[in-house]
Structure 1
Amino acid sequence: MRLSIALIYSVHAVLDLKLKNVDLVMKYNLHSRLLQRMAENKCHGCIKLKEHMMLAREIKKHKEEVNALQFQMSDEALQQMPEFQGRIDVLKEIGCIDSDLVVQIKGRVACEMNSGEELICTECLFENQLDDLEPEEAVALMSAFVFQQKNASEPSLTPKLASARKRLYDTAIRLGELQARFKVPVTPEDFAKDNLKFGLVQVVYEWAKGTPFADICELTDVPEGLIVRTIVRLDETCREFKNAAAIMGNSALHKKMEVASNAIKRDIVFAASLYITGV
């Protein structure tokens, strides 16, 4: 190898090889200098050169992966994502943030929503959809935010609850259409169906009115354990809505959520243990 490098340097690119192209001569000279630097490097004679080169390539590969992941997690990467910008535009459109990205009261309310989909819950509150409902009806409608089972028997609702359900579903469709308009990958119908499941509205309504647990279980094909979990989670949703009402300055809604929470927090559902109930 050293002999071949020496031979290369003993040959003149223009005089001996008759190269006339300026770019070609420059590339030839660059190549010759690189070969010389390789020969002068102390690693060139290392008996583990191949092993070390493989290790160096592996380290370089992992460093590139780390850099790529760090970039994906950075604000700069998020700002380049069309979906991220679309969600920002949606929040501006509905008034959660202003044009300077400053969080407004509506945005603060959205931050309180953890049990259900934030946008739907927030619009429900700011459209006053619970104002004309009794506490039992309000908490029953709110069960759509926390109930998880997709397939459940169709509930039999009072005209007032049926109207409230349609109004809430229409709100979800409108929010889905808004997100789709701003290039967020959302289908309005799927957005509404995935985030609103009305299968336990009748069950929760009857439970809040004081109907025994054995009787409400006859109203649906949903397993008893899932009914219990939904009602327990619904109590947390009531607390979130109560906090949101405090931010909004809506004392009537705050009181209504307190009454609704007390209405569902009873009997076997909130017993310390199902095994000692009634002992």
Structure 2
Amino acid sequence: MKSLSHAAIALAVAAGFASSALAAAPVSAPSSAPVRNIVLVHGAWVDGSGWKPVYDILVKDGYHVSVVQEPLTSLAGDVAAARRVLDAQDGPTILVGHSYGGSVITEAGVHPNVVGLVYVAAHAPAVGEDESALGKRMPSYTSMQSGAIEKTADGYTYLNPAVFPKDFAADLAPAKARFEAHAQMPTAADVFSTPLTAAAWTSKPSWGIVAGGDKIINPDLERWYYERAHSHTTVIPGASHSVYESRPRQVAAVIEDAARHAQP
């Protein structure tokens, strides 16, 4: 597995704070015809229904949107689920991932239909890296809380329902956050420690959203990922890990920017 020194990461993060990536980064001139296909990939412990607020905006704006439902049983299985949906697209596609879904789109994004990637409060490892090891170098608030992440006898993880609302979904309506806490999809622990075999961001343009109030992934780690990938980066101050649900217009705007500027 490729290793990264703590000093190197710290230096990259410091550079990220000083760069213009803390606001929406400039992009190249739009292509003559925007990409119309968008595929959305959810993260761990949730399902694709959380994308509905973003989905509704994109569909209203004329995009063809598909949502991947991952089994969350293995990284390979989740990547295969994304590839099935990508195979069904009729042309150039923007591939979007939230949280662990960032690892999925990083590997699945080498698909020939994909012309751009959007990371939403997401991981973006390189080949040979895994998000668990990288996360330990910049721990999140949740990962440092004893008992926050639970594990079943057969090796599946979930977020303690008592902490889910404040850690995962602090800016959602309390009733909705409580419902999601009790509607989790247990996720195989191995998905977080499986090294990636492909990294689409090395050859395709990417956009990244930092959730400024994220407790599930350290916002500094999100910044570092996007700095390394040379992503066009937008920071949404105060947003929780559920930024795709709580700030759907801002998230959809970044996705549409990718669709306008990615070259088919």
Bigger-Rg structure (1/2): 1
Work out which structure has the larger RCO, using CA pairs closer than 8 Å and 6 or more positions apart in sequence: 2
Give the shorter-chain TM-score range: under 0.3
Structure number with the higher helix fraction is 1
